[in-house]
């Protein structure tokens, strides 16, 4: 049984999950848009693929910044605005781009836009988790989080297929889709921060940022040394990550350039 504030949370969480499903569904074809429509090089594809993961190295820094922020909702809204707004620039890309044109700046501009977009990840994800954990009871969190996540993945699969099908008819359809995604990305965060939230943080002695970061690193080291189950999990996950990240970009290049698959086939994949 959901309490009134939990019903409100689930409503906004579900709307957010639907909109994010649209974003993730379209962005699932990012690397293929870069190589097939923009004529990006293999080198540029590898950069685009790594951006969304490399930014997570800044998670520790952004966690400390969030911990020092009195109004995390306001910060989240600002981050959403400045990281989603650059997607509007893609509307001004030319309708015809010559594949393999080494002088074209558009593949590089595409990379810059999405580097800025992914910079929000280490801030948005922890804040979302904080809002949800604070608003759902422990008994309801898992159940309703799984409902919203399931809806998110269904929408994502439908949008990926639809976007791929559209790109086969119009290879520059991304010029219309990505700016819309920028607006939707901001709206989704604006809706999410309407979730009821009451801070439970207590005032503590605030150390300089450098000292807090050093303390966090020492804590990480302590956990890895003393918590063997967690250390074993991290070791396995790390090696899995090495294998996946070293092959994913190669698979993209092989499907696009080796097999010359169309967008619909790539969307199904």
Helical H runs in the chain? 4-27, 30-32, 42-54, 59-67, 72-84, 106-118, 121-135, 138-169, 174-192, 209-226, 228-253, 263-268
Residue 124 pLDDT exceeds 70: yes
- Asked if the structure places residue 139 within a domain, the reply is yes
What integer pLDDT is reported at residue 156 of this predicted model? 94
- Asked if the structure places residue 220 within a domain, the reply is no
137-156 pLDDT, tens digit per residue, is: 778 788 888 898 999 999 99
Separation of alpha carbons 255 and 258, rounded Å: 6
pLDDT band at 101 (very low <50, low <70, confident <90, very high): low
- Asked if the structure places residue 8 within a domain, the reply is yes
Residue 100 pLDDT exceeds 60: no
Separation of alpha carbons 30 and 125, rounded Å: 20
What dihedral do alpha carbons 37, 42, 45, 50 form, nearest 10°? 180
What integer pLDDT is reported at residue 244 of this predicted model? 83
Q: How far apart are the first and last CA of the chain?
A: 39
Q: In whole angstroms, how far apart are CA 147 and each of 127, 196, 221? A: 20, 19, 35
- Asked if the structure places residue 221 within a domain, the reply is no
- Contact by Cβ (8 Å): 97, 36: no
Overall average pLDDT of the 162-182 stretch? 92
pLDDT band at 99 (very low <50, low <70, confident <90, very high): low
What integer pLDDT is reported at residue 25 of this predicted model? 92
31 compared with 103, residue with greater pLDDT: 31
189-248 pLDDT, tens digit per residue, is: 888 888 876 655 544 556 677 777 788 888 888 888 899 899 999 899 889 988 888 888
Domain carrying residue 32: 4-198+253-268
- Asked if the structure places residue 244 within a domain, the reply is no
- Contact by Cβ (8 Å): 189, 120: no
CATH classification at residue 158: 1.20.1250.20
Number of domains in the chain: 1
What integer pLDDT is reported at residue 128 of this predicted model? 79
Separation of alpha carbons 92 and 246, rounded Å: 33
What integer pLDDT is reported at residue 199 of this predicted model? 57
- Asked if the structure places residue 99 within a domain, the reply is yes
- Asked if the structure places residue 67 within a domain, the reply is yes
40-96 pLDDT, tens digit per residue, is: 888 888 888 888 888 888 777 777 777 777 777 788 888 889 999 999 999 998 877
Backbone angles phi, psi at 139, to 5 degrees: -70, -30
Residue 120 pLDDT exceeds 70: yes
- Contact by Cβ (8 Å): 76, 228: no
Residue 103 pLDDT exceeds 70: no
- Asked if the structure places residue 226 within a domain, the reply is no
């Amino acid at each position: 049984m959901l309490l009134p504030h939990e019903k409100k949370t689930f409503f906004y969480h579900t709307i957010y999950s639907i909109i994010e499903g649209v974003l993730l569904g379209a962005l699932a074809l990012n690397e293929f848009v870069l190589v097939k429509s923009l004529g990006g090089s293999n080198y540029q594809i590898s950069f685009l693929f790594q951006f969304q993961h490399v930014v997570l190295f800044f998670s520790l820094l952004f966690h400390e910044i969030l911990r020092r922020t009195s109004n995390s909702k306001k910060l989240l809204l600002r981050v959403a605005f400045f990281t989603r707004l650059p997607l509007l620039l893609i509307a001004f890309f030319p309708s015809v781009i010559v594949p393999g044109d080494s002088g074209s700046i558009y593949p590089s501009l595409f990379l810059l836009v999405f580097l800025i977009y992914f910079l929000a990840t280490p801030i948005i994800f922890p804040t979302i988790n904080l809002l949800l954990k604070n608003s759902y009871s422990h008994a309801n969190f898992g159940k309703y989080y799984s409902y919203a996540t399931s809806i998110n993945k269904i929408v994502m699969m439908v949008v990926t297929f639809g976007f791929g099908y559209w790109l086969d008819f119009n290879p520059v359809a991304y010029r219309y889709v990505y700016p819309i995604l920028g607006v939707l990305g901001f709206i989704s965060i604006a809706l999410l921060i309407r979730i009821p939230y009451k801070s439970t943080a207590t005032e503590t002695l605030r150390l300089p940022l450098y000292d807090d970061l050093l303390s966090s690193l020492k804590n990480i080291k302590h956990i890895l040394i003393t918590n063997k189950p967690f250390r074993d999990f991290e070791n396995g996950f790390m090696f899995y990550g090495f294998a996946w990240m070293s092959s994913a970009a190669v698979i993209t290049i092989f499907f696009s350039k080796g097999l010359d698959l169309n967008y619909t086939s790539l969307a199904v994949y």
